[in-house]
Amino acid sequence: MTWTKKVLRVNLTEGSVNEEPLNMDWAAEYIGQRGLATRYMVAETDPDCDALGPDNKLIFATGPLTGTAVSTAGRYSVITKSPLTGAIACSNSGGFLGAELKSAGWDMIIFEGKSPSPVMLNIINENAELVPADDLWGKSVWETDKLIHEKSGDPQTRVAAVGRSAEAGCLYSAIINDLHRAAGRSGVGTVMASKNLKAVAVRGTRGVGNIKDPARFMKSVAEEKQVLAENAVTGQGLPALGTQVLMNVINEIGALPAKNMQLSQFEGAHNISGEAMLEPRKSDGKPNLTTNAACFGCTIACGRISTVDRTHFSIENKPEYWGNSGGLEYEAAWAMGADTGVDDLDAVTYVNFVCNEDGMDPISFGATVAAAMELYEKGVITKEQTDGVELKFGSAEALVWCAERVATGEGFGADLGLGSKRLCEKYGHPELSMTVKGQEFPAYDPRGIQGMGLTYATSNRGACHLRSYTVASEVLGIPEKTDPAVTEGKAGLVKAFQDATAAVDSMGLCVFTTFAWTLDNMAPQMDAACEGDWTVDRLVEAGERIWNLERDYNIKAGLSGADDNLPERLLKEASKAAPTEGQVCNLDQMLPEYYQLRGWTADGQVTDEVRQKFSLPG
Amino acid sequence: MQRSLTIDPEKCTGCLQCEMACSFENEGNFNPAKSRIKVFTFHEEGRFVPYTCTQCDEAWCMQACPVDAIKMNFTTGAMEVNEQTCVGCKVCTIACPFGTVNYNVDTGKVVKCDLCGGDPACATACPTQAITYVDASATGLDKMRAWASKTDNAQATT
Amino acid sequence: MKHLIIGAGPAGVVAAETLRKLDENASITILGDEPEPPYSRMAIPYLLIDNIDEQGTYLRKDQDYFKRQNIDVVVGRAESLDPVNKTVKVAEGDSLPYDKLLVATGSRPIKPPVPGIDHEKVTSCWTLEDARKITSGIQQGTPVVLIGAGFIGCIILEALVSAGADLTVVEMGNRMVPRMLDEKCGSMLEAWCQNKGVNVMTSTTVTAIEPKGDGVLVKTSDGNEVEAELVISAAGVKPNADFLEGSDVKLVDGGIEIDEFMQSSMDGVYAAGDVAYGRDFSTGEFGIQAIQPTAVDHARLAANNMHKHGSIRHRGSVLMNVLDTMGLISASYGQWEGVEGGDSAELLDENNFRYIQLQFDQDRLVGANTLGMTQHVGVLRGLIQGKFHLGHWKQKLMNNPLLLMEAYLAATQAS
Ligand SMILES: Cc1cc2nc3c(=O)[nH]c(=O)nc-3n(C[C@H](O)[C@H](O)[C@H](O)COP(=O)(O)OP(=O)(O)OC[C@H]3O[C@@H](n4cnc5c(N)ncnc54)[C@H](O)[C@@H]3O)c2cc1C
Ligand code: SF4
Ligand code: SF4
């Protein structure tokens, strides 16, 4: 163990809820969470299915370490086919829901079919039932959370829900749990809403146990917590400034994309940085940041709890936003700030609240607004579409207006809900979409950090920093420093990071631990907790297996090597920022080597040898 | 010198490492629902408050127990429940004005913090020193005990 | 200093211990009229179901405890008081002298005025002796009638059922535990009992008990007749202060009137526990609470004032009760019936037998009822007794009464 070895299967079409044993043969190969749920997707769905049709499935999956005392082990992922990319989606979330689900006795929930009318799933330990949710439909995540808590009466009930954006069909809607933790990317919330599933409420009081070697486990956990505490990033930087510790760092090296990635530095970066979040405001003398907050079991505590200035135009007449809520993470601050050219911290924080409140991925949302702003700049989108709003780079009013429209899907909000790719196609300028496989970029300019170019191009879920965070090595020197400007060695670096990260995700841990931990720190904890022998080698192998399985799924879903690409802008328009001036992303110098290291064909197909080596299905 | 648990909510991040450590120590699994220490979240205020028995001087629980099942451990100063003796009448659970003795339906007995016999697992697990096990004279404890005096049904006349 | 304590229940024992802590050298004597070592009535239900043996009911487990504490425990019944010579006359024995006297004689069950109540198959459930009689009288399937579904009745109800009784409960009031739980709570409790196969008859009285075969026939006001092999009467209690009648110690409603220093109308004579007509914290008024926590509160304070008169003032005890009725746990605190002009909040989940009701006076909590709750219930006492101003947390509690702990922490930490 510590798998609970139980899967909850929920057939939404029939309204049935059943328990079944977890496939432990697969668990031995794919660990849990991301890997194991993908294995279920491959076995049970047609990769070619309509992501928003009843044939797609939606899996909430925990890892074997989820719910244990290993630092950060509170996570769960949502795995499904993405409506945004058409590829496999796996969105990982913290907060408390994952551990609660595990404590209720479940490794996974598999949702299949589509409910004829809105429903929610209620889980109290072994008791799970679908209940009508007509009263919740049309409500924001926050209202939904409140209503569910009023009904359950139990403050410890953990809720995951989709907001109005998902109901309206926004393609990058997230599933929000614990009010401001998101299974954020690739439109997993859109899939959930397409199934008429509004929310999942969980209360678990059974506990997570059956540790293989409790004494060794507790000792190992304590030692590794110490490693996190003593590390400069996980012990100081992240608790103090959150991921926002990066804003100034990345800007200074000329790798902070701005204004729909036209630029590689943002003049207003400091105003929306982690440091700025600590500065007292003029109006009330309080800083934006109230405190840092942890997810379940996390000893890093990078989470931000913030307020917006009450006198700010966005909320001055809305007391419901005057309290604390989830504050800015770096990626969100970048997308909704630097990429739109907005350096108004309060506006960006408020828009972040809106994203949480109505379940939008702030990266995709911000990047889509950025694309729309460039289309507006070009005169393709006009005030006719925007009800007279000037959709100009740098306009906080425009940003706020956009967020409130996407939240409900009203008017131009529906266009923005298409995501950058479809929006730019609709308005005849596909080249302005800063996406890979239809998913918007996060906050690192691949012209300045070459490894991130390959990371984005080859990520199995479209542009994403979390699949192989080579920034760690190329910028922060973790585990060792590489030069961000060179492409040499990056193929190997990316592959190694991808495989390791797949294992980290699948165990149920947070990728931020990897600033301080390698698999050498994780394997002993995993091995002391879980049945079987878990060595670093086995974890790496499982990670590589998972990566190949995801790739295989995508190929079957109709993607190919041609989709491992970056927008022309990043390959041709050189950086104008001083530290990286003249650089483009040299993807072509890395991609062939990467395919080779993966053992794939020159056009990026998974070969039979690889299939056999990892005993991949079908 | 007797030591006691001191709690500084300002430092708490709400990670629940303490709840896990406590439940593991006492129940053998990671189960916040069975923890003797609880972290309460004040979402709008952005505040986390860990909370457990202060081993208060009045020891309401001990006094209320009709069968002498709660006794003071003289080494640690903790009021400890003797499971063998406890009949599960729950009078202590309503008598403790802090709500820190709770009934466990599964065992039919009550549970409360016993300072883990002098090495509290929560304090060891807490990554931010929001919970520490220190000299009994530390200030945080005085504050918690001040609440206790508010509950006293007696009033000293001097 | 000679301290004499009459009554070897929780009040008597706690007073003696407190006195010993305050004064190493004082002479302390407890006079009790039951043959067993000091024990706790509250533990009797657990004895009935064999959860513990008789020793498990003893207030202090160690046989030598009282000897080591240098507390004399004497068996005998106090018959009268001689305030001039400061002695207490013990039935069939010598008189015991005192400088300070504590009367902690508790209460005893009332016999309802029903023809046939003295039949040998009718018993109360109050002493260890009663308990023995009940245990030997009940086997699997024995038909039993319980008169009274008050607090004590309900507490023993579960024990009777698990001992095997085929149980009928007859209660005069319109619901179970009418003096502790509100209408909703009491009715839910009744439904719960009915579900578990207990026949509960509310708004009904027993009119006669007649011999029938080896057992009796119990007749009720609604014309029913129930056969029983054992009848248990739990129809209320009254204080054991009769032996003071005719003395200068003032009695009210049969209990001993005390002041805020726990002293009776006679100097040097104190009272504590079920026998004391003491102050209620919530109302400030005097009355008899007859619960264990109050007995202990009283005892501690009385001992302090016996040691040094005037040292601690009694601000009143909060009325509180917790009941476990076949697994359904209910609790009540203070002014659960509410106060004039006050607000109340409630949350009801009838299907799952969960209920909570809070009573406020302005922004302070003054009373509560709960059903099906086991976590942090005690904080209700903290809130009531601390008289904390809840401020805007009152509204939050009105919306969701379960946010008790949060409200408590907010109220206490803010101040
Ligand atoms: C079955 C049962 C269950 C209960 N459950 C609960 C519960 O769950 N919660 C709760 O709060 N309360 C409960 N109670 C009530 C609780 O037991 C009493 O409130 C408590 O015992 C009062 O303590 P006391 O010391 O005042 O009186 P008692 O315990 O009654 O002790 C008084 C003693 O004095 C003796 N005595 C009386 N007259 C004389 C005399 N003239 N001379 C010498 N000795 C004398 C008596 O025989 C007795 O031994 C329960 C009672 C019973 C019977
Ligand atoms: S459980 Fe409550 S009454 Fe008992 S020692 Fe702790 S705080 Fe005091
Ligand atoms: S529940 Fe147990 S410890 Fe608490 S008062 Fe009753 S017997 Fe004592």
**Residue type (1 letter), A351:** V
Q: Tens digit of pLDDT per residue, chain C (415 long)?
A: 999 999 999 999 999 999 999 999 999 999 999 999 999 999 999 999 888 999 999 999 988 999 999 999 999 999 999 999 999 999 998 899 999 999 999 999 999 999 999 999 999 999 999 999 999 999 999 999 999 999 899 989 989 998 999 999 999 999 888 888 889 888 899 999 999 989 999 999 999 999 999 899 999 999 999 999 999 999 999 999 999 988 899 999 999 999 999 999 999 999 999 999 999 988 888 899 889 999 999 999 999 999 999 999 998 999 999 999 989 999 999 999 999 999 999 999 888 899 999 999 999 999 999 999 888 999 999 999 999 999 999 999 998 898 999 999 988 875 4
- The pLDDT, as a whole number, for residue B146 is 54
- What is the rounded distance in angstroms from the CA atom of residue A118 to the CA atom of residue C169? 47
- What is the rounded distance in angstroms from the CA atom of residue A526 to the CA atom of residue A541? 15
Domain final residue, candidates A433, A462, A491: A433
Ligand 1 centroid to Cα of residue C177, in Å, is 19
Q: In 3D, which of A503, A401, A381, A415 has the Cα closest to residue A170?
A: A415
Compute the residue count for chain B.
158
Residues of chain B positioned with their CB less than 8 A from the CB of C293: 60, 63-64, 91, 94-95
DSSP letters, A379-390, are TSS-TTTTTT--
Instruction: Give residues with Cβ within 8 angstroms of B118, minimum separation 6.
Output: B3, B75, B76
- The pLDDT, as a whole number, for residue A6 is 97
Q: In 3D, which of C142, C208, C159, C152 has the Cα closest to residue C179?
A: C152
CA A136 vs. chain centroid, Å, equals 25
Residue C2: beta bridge partners? C27
- The pLDDT, as a whole number, for residue B143 is 52
Same-domain pairing of A456 and A423: no
What is the bridge-based pairing of β-strands C166-170 and C312-314? unpaired
**How many CB atoms sit inside 10 A of residue C309's CB?**
14
DSSP A287: B
Domain assignment present for residue A367? The answer is yes
Is residue A149 less than 8 Å (CB to CB) from chain C?
Answer: yes
Residues of chain C positioned with their CB less than 8 A from the CB of B105: 327, 374
The CATH number that applies at residue A491 is: 1.10.599.10
Contact B30 A204 (CB under 8 A): no
Ligand 2 centroid to Cα of residue C57, in Å, is 22
**Residue type (1 letter), C209:** I
- CA-nearest residue to A150 within chain C is C400
Same-domain pairing of A428 and A465: no
DSSP letters, A246-276, are HHHHHHHTT---BTTTTBS--TTGGGGSTTG
Residues of chain C positioned with their CB less than 8 A from the CB of A149: 400
Same-domain pairing of A484 and A607: yes
Residues with C-beta less than 6 Å from any ligand 3 atom: B 64-65, 67, 69-70, 81, 86-92, 110
Structure tokens at A220: 């190992």
Domain final residue, candidates A433, A456, A486: A433
Residue B104: beta bridge partners? B109
Q: From the list C349, C354, C403, which residue is nearest A155 (CB)?
A: C403
**Does residue C391 come out as left (phi exceeding 0), alpha (psi in the -120 to 50 range) or beta?**
left
- What is the rounded distance in angstroms from the CA atom of residue B81 to the CA atom of residue B71? 7
Residues of chain B positioned with their CB less than 8 A from the CB of A293: 13-14, 46, 48
Q: What is the pTM of this model?
A: 0.91
Q: Are A317 and A349 in contact (CB under 8 A)?
A: no
Looking at 3.40.50.300, 3.50.50.60, 3.30.2010.10, 3.40.50.720, the CATH number of the domain C2-108+238-307 comes to: 3.50.50.60
Residues of chain C positioned with their CB less than 8 A from the CB of A203: none
Same-domain pairing of A451 and A428: no
- What is the rounded distance in angstroms from the CA atom of residue B91 to the CA atom of residue C331? 10
Report domain extents, chain B: 1-52+117-158, 55-112
Question: What does the angle CA A576 – CA A578 – CA A582 come to, to the nearest 5 degrees?
Answer: 50
DSSP letters, C35-58, are SSSSB-GGGHHHHHTTSS-GGGGB
Structural domain boundaries enclosing A596:
445-613
Contact A149 C399 (CB under 8 A): no
- Report the nearest-CA residue for atom 5 of ligand 1: C42
The CATH topology of domain C122-235 is: FAD/NAD(P)-binding domain (3.50.50)
Name the residue of C105, C146, C275, C277 whose CB sits within 8 Å of the most ligand 1 atoms, as the mutation to test its pocket: C105
Structure tokens at A191: 């899939």
Structure tokens at C119: 């039949």
- What is the rounded distance in angstroms from the CA atom of residue A27 to the CA atom of residue B130? 37
**Counting atoms of ligand 2 from 1, which one is nearest the CA of B99?**
2
CATH of domain B55-112: 3.30.70.20
Considering the segment(s) C335-414 as one domain, its CATH architecture is 2-Layer Sandwich (3.30)
Instruction: Give residues with Cβ within 8 angstroms of A432, minimum separation 6.
Output: A260, A371, A374, A375, A378, A424
The gap between the terminal CA atoms of chain C, to the nearest Å, is 43
Rg of chain A in Å (alpha carbons): 22
Domain assignment present for residue A98? The answer is yes
- The pLDDT, as a whole number, for residue B144 is 54
- What is the rounded distance in angstroms from the CA atom of residue C51 to the CA atom of residue B84? 10
- Report the nearest-CA residue for atom 4 of ligand 3: B92
For residue C133, the SS3 value is helix
- The pLDDT, as a whole number, for residue B121 is 96
- CA-nearest residue to C58 within chain B is B67
- What is the rounded distance in angstroms from the CA atom of residue A475 to the CA atom of residue A451? 10
Q: CB-hemisphere CA count at 13 Å for A617?
A: 18
Residues of chain B positioned with their CB less than 8 A from the CB of C364: none
Residues 337-376 of C with CB under 8 A from B: 374-376
**How many CB atoms sit inside 10 A of residue B108's CB?**
16
**How many CB atoms sit inside 10 A of residue C172's CB?**
19
Residues with C-beta less than 6 Å from any ligand 2 atom: B 53-56, 59-61, 79, 96, 98, 100-101, 112
Compute the residue count for chain C.
415
- Report the nearest-CA residue for atom 7 of ligand 2: B53
Chains with at least 3 CB pairs less than 8 angstroms from chain B: A, C
Q: Scanning the structure block, which residue is given the tokens 């047609």?
A: A46
Domain assignment present for residue A595? The answer is yes
- Continuous H helices in A261-344: 330-336
Query: Where are the CATH 3.30.390 domain residues in chain C?
Result: 335-414
Is residue C347 less than 8 Å (CB to CB) from chain A?
Answer: yes
Residue range B127-140: average pLDDT?
79
Task: Compute φ and ψ for A537, nearest 5 degrees.
Answer: -60, -40
Is residue A295 less than 8 Å (CB to CB) from chain B?
Answer: yes
- B152 band by pLDDT with thresholds 50, 70 and 90: low
- What is the rounded distance in angstroms from the CA atom of residue C14 to the CA atom of residue C10? 6
Could you check whether B1-52+117-158 and B55-112 share the same CATH topology? Answer: yes
**How many CB atoms sit inside 10 A of residue C223's CB?**
8
Domain final residue, candidates A379, A409, A433: A433
Counting the structural domains of chain A, the total is: 3
Instruction: Give residues with Cβ within 8 angstroms of C8, minimum separation 6.
Output: C30, C31, C32, C34, C38, C73
pLDDT digit string, tens, across residues A45-95: 999 999 999 999 999 999 999 999 999 999 999 999 999 999 999 999 999
pLDDT at B2 over 80: no
Q: Looking at the predicted complex, does its ipTM rise above 0.85?
A: yes
Considering the segment(s) B1-52+117-158 as one domain, its CATH architecture is 2-Layer Sandwich (3.30)
Domain assignment present for residue A539? The answer is yes
pLDDT digit string, tens, across residues B18-43: 999 999 999 999 999 999 999 999 88
pLDDT digit string, tens, across residues B28-83: 999 999 999 999 998 888 899 999 998 998 899 999 999 999 999 999 999 999 99
From the candidates A154, A203, A322, which should be mutated to test the interface with C, based on the most C CB atoms within 10 A?
A: A154
- A466 band by pLDDT with thresholds 50, 70 and 90: confident
